[in-house]
Structure 1
Amino acid sequence: MNRIARQWRTLFPRHGSVARPSDRLQGGLLAVVLLLALAALPVAAAFGSETFARQQGQSARQLGERTLVTATLLADGPEITVNGRSGVVGTGEPTEAAWVLPDGTRRVGQVVADEGTLKGHVLPIWVDAAGHPVDPPLSAAAVVIDAAGVGLGLWLAALILLAVGYRLSVFFLDRLRYARWQQEWFAGQDRKTRS
C-alpha cells in the first residue's frame, strides 16, 4: 500500500507540499505515460481486428480452394530415427502416395509421411484445385490466435517502450536532483568554513 501511495503522491503532489519542480515534472511524465498506455490499447486492438479480418478472408478463400482427400502410401515412409541427446523422433519426409480427387481422378505424387509409416497406410492430405498437395488451410482458431497475438503484442511493445522512456526520464531527473543537492551541500560547507 505504501508503494501505491508514493506513486499517487508522485502523480498528484499535494498543494503546499515540498515537491520540487522536477518532482512535479516527473508526476506529469507519469500521467502522460499512463494516458499514452491507455491510448495505445484501442490502436493495438484495431491492428488485431484488421489482422483478424484479413486472415479470416484468407482462411475462407483457402477452404474454398482446397479439398481434404485420403492418400494411400505406395512405399514405406522414412525409417524411425532417434536423436541421441533428446530422444525426440525426427519429422516426416516426402514419400510416394496415391489419392483420388473428388471428381474421381487418381493422382500419384509425393506426400509427407511420418517416420515409421508403412506401405498401404492412409493419411489425410489437402490438395488444391489441380490436385496437387498443399498446406492445410488457415484454421479459425489460428486466425483468432494470430489476431489476439498481434493486438496484445503491439500493446505490450508500446507499454515496454513507454516504461523504458519513463524510467530513463526518472534516471536523468534523479541525476539532476542529485547534482543540485550536491551543489547546495557544497555551498553550505563553504559557508560553514568561512564563518
Structure 2
Amino acid sequence: MNTWNRIARMWYVVLPRRGSVARPSDRVQGGLLALAVLLGLALLPFAAGLGSETYVRQSSQSAEQVRARTPSTATLLVDGPPLEANTRSGVVGAGEPTDATWTPADGTRHVGKVVAGQGTIKGEQLPIWVDRAGNLTEPPLSGAGVLIDAVGVALGLWLGVLVLLTFGYRLTAYAFDRYRYARWQQEWFQEQDRETHS
C-alpha cells in the first residue's frame, strides 16, 4: 500500500463520509486517532519550552563553571596502568586513578590522583581542570553540551509522549477490532442458524 492510500485510509477513519457504512465503533476509533494526533501536536510547544528552560538553566551553570574552573597540567608521579588489550576486541581498556602533581595559577603544589590512560609513564603530563582552590574537578559544561542536553530533553519528552499515545491508540484499536470480530462471529452464527431453520 503506497503512502497516499495510507493517508486517505487514515483520513476516512478519522472523518467517515456521510453515506459511509462506518459503525459507531469506527467513529469512536477515528475520534481517538484525531485526539491522539492533536495531543501530540499540542505537546510540541510544551516540550520546546522545557528544552528552552533547560538551555537557559544550564547556560548559566556553564558560565559559572567556566568562571570557577581553569585548565591545568598534571605530571604523573608513577607509571599509569600497564597496557592491556581486550583479547576479543583488541580495544585498550579505560584509565585508572594514578598519583600525580599539579601547580595551579596560585603557585601551590597539589598532589592527588588523576585518571591516567594505560601505557602512560612517570613524568608524562596530562591536561586537567582545577577549581579556584586548585583542587581537581570536572571540565566545565560546554556550550555544545548545553545545546545537546536541551534538545535531548525536549525531543525525549515529546517522543516519549508520542510513543505512549501511539501505544494507547493501538491498544484501543486492538480492543475495538476484537469487539468487531466478536460481533461479526455472532452475526455469522445467527445467519447460519437462520438458514438452517428455514
Moved beyond 6 Å, runs of 4+:
none
Instruction: Give matches, 1:1-195, under 5 Å.
Output: 1-195=4-198
The CA deviation at 1:33 is 0.6
The CA deviation at 1:55 is 1.5
The CA deviation at 1:97 is 2.0
CA-based RMSD of the aligned residues comes to: 1.4
Q: Distance in 1 between matches of 2:155 and 2:174?
A: 28
Counterpart of 2:45, as a letter, is: P
Identity fraction in percent? 64
When normalised by structure 1's length, the TM-score is: 0.94
The CA deviation at 1:10 is 0.7
Deviates more, 1:94-103 or 1:19-28: 94-103
Residue ranges of structure 2 left out of the alignment (5+ in a row): none
Secondary structure, aligned partner of 1:120: coil
Residue ranges of structure 1 left out of the alignment (5+ in a row): none
The CA deviation at 1:158 is 0.5
The CA deviation at 1:144 is 0.9
Deviates more, 1:128-137 or 1:69-78: 69-78
Q: Distance in 2 between matches of 1:184 and 1:75?
A: 85
Q: Distance in 1 between matches of 2:93 and 2:189?
A: 71
**Paired residues, number:** 195
Secondary structure, aligned partner of 2:22: coil
When normalised by structure 2's length, the TM-score is: 0.93
Counterpart of 1:115, as a letter, is: Q
The CA deviation at 1:104 is 2.1
Q: Distance in 2 between matches of 1:183 and 1:112?
A: 72
